[in-house]
Amino acid sequence: MSTTHSGQRLPATVTPRIAIVGGGITGMGLGYRLSQLGATVDVFEAETAPGGLAGAITLENGVSVDRFYHTILSSDHELRQLCSDLGINAALRFRKTGMGFHYAGAVFSMNNILEFMRFPPLKWMDRLRLGLTVLYAQTLQDWHRLEGISVEEWLCRLSGQRTYRSIWRPLLKAKFDGGFDTIPATWMWARLTRMKSTRRGASQREEAGHLVGGYAVLMQALIRQIEGTGGSVRLGRPVDEIVVENGSVRGVRIGGNVTPYDTVVAALPTPIVRDLLPEAPREYAAALDSIEYLGVVCPLLVLDRPLTGFWTLNITDDGIPFTGVIETTSYIDPPLVGGNHLVYLPKYTSPGSEWQSASDEEIRAVWLSNLEKVLPHFDRGWIRSLHVHRARYVEPLHRLNSTPPMPPIETPIAGLYLVTTAQIYPALTNFESIWRHVRAAAGTILNKHLLQRVGSH
């Protein structure tokens, strides 16, 4: 029998019913993939809408937009294939866009070799070394050698101290909320490698893409496929406990009711999974607790006009709380989002960051006053609405020499599987890498199910 790793369906006589706890992009993608391979799935999601970080909000004019910014790159081949398989490929749009740097109170475009060579803080040798750093990273195949080198040491060695202080250090400090001392060089390698094939044509401007209607379109397509194979997506149904008895999973508890399942998949950040497993073995519980995550605070400004003209304006000023200015309507036609212009101002937060508990009012006040410093032409009268969004568990932190202690898909509890972004390494956590991981995980889960079934007979 061919294995499900190759994409072959289970035999018709084998139709496991599987509970998936978590209806974010991981859980929804996994539900779809398992259903395509012959399983019947029930996805349980605490929120009243699917998607998690890929969820949507409805603006005052009734237009649905993504809560957090998400970009599809032209090189995201597996995600684009998924859209094609789901019949929503026509909703994909791509456009050349640009990047800028805010440095020493001024904004610099950084989209071609001429602009790059004119960047004021770097001398010509610095610019040459910076270009060679990017080229070296994008051609390096053996990333394992980078696991024991800090990203700081690696970038200083390749680019030099001046380039590190002017460009790399501010970006790292913003991304990791200051705590990047133990981040391996694999993180920067993965970032530069991902961007390698997004520049097209003589202009070498980056291409960014989106789905017309946002990721809500993808979520609805996944729901249709899951329900079309006899499964369900149960929204507003928070699971209180993954029930374990005598070392085996027995089902999920919602309120006072336990729904029995022989197979349960937790598709959530590991700290949340730990909270759902009061009967987990001590060592496994400790392993789940040990994984750290970056969070994010991300106000969305809905404006009546363009702000920067860039897709991303990187901030290199330590005094500015947000990482950058992300203007998604630089590649999304404003008429597709009700004539609005969408600007996201993300702040990545380290574990224990006070920003996660700050009030919306405080964040609004601090963010707007700092936006006025970065872009003095900005006028608060342009704001149609402002929405503060936050999430505690966004991106798992992989430390120096931290592999392979990532939690495996198969857990020490029989019938329970874990599929989470903490298992994605060294690739960055994005929808392309998540979907690739989900496809592999689905095959692992169903192959294990077949082995257990054969063994029980």
The CATH code of domain 113-203 reads 1.10.3110
R_g of the chain, CA atoms, integer Å: 23
Closest CA to 419 of 391, 456, 448, 452: 448
Q: pLDDT tens digits, residue range 188-244?
A: 999 998 876 555 544 456 789 999 999 999 999 999 999 999 999 999 999 999 999
Q: pLDDT tens digits, residue range 281-317?
A: 999 999 999 999 999 999 999 999 999 989 999 998 8
59-73 mean pLDDT: 93
d(CA 129, CA 137): 12
Question: Which CATH number fits the domain 4-46+236-291+405-456, given the four candidates 3.40.630.30, 3.50.50.60, 3.60.15.10, 3.30.365.10?
Answer: 3.50.50.60
CB within 8 Å of 128: residues ≥ 6 apart:
none
Closest CA to 356 of 398, 388, 318: 388
Rounded to two decimals, what is the model's pTM? 0.92
Q: Is the pLDDT of residue 457 over 50?
A: no
**pLDDT the model gives residue 270:** 98
Map tokens 């402002």 to a residue. Answer: 386
d(CA 253, CA 186): 39
Q: Are 325 and 375 in contact (CB under 8 A)?
A: yes
Q: Does the domain at residues 58-97+206-214+293-396 carry the CATH identifier 1.10.3720.10?
A: no
Map tokens 């992989």 to a residue. Answer: 398
| AA identity, residue 121 | P
Closest CA to 39 of 5, 82, 10, 3: 10
Q: Is the pLDDT of residue 2 over 70?
A: no
Alpha helices (runs of H) in 121-241, residue ranges in sequence order: 124-139, 151-159, 161-163, 169-175, 186-194, 215-228
Q: Are 153 and 120 in contact (CB under 8 A)?
A: no
Beta bridge partners of 249: 244
Beta carbons within 10 angstroms of residue 22's beta carbon: 27
Q: Are 28 and 51 in contact (CB under 8 A)?
A: yes
d(CA 77, CA 217): 18
Domain ranges for the chain? 4-46+236-291+405-456, 58-97+206-214+293-396, 113-203
d(CA 8, CA 290): 36
β-strands 232-235, 241-245 pairing: unpaired
Cis amide prior to 426 (ω within 30 degrees): yes
d(CA 395, CA 418): 16
Q: Is the pLDDT of residue 255 over 50?
A: yes
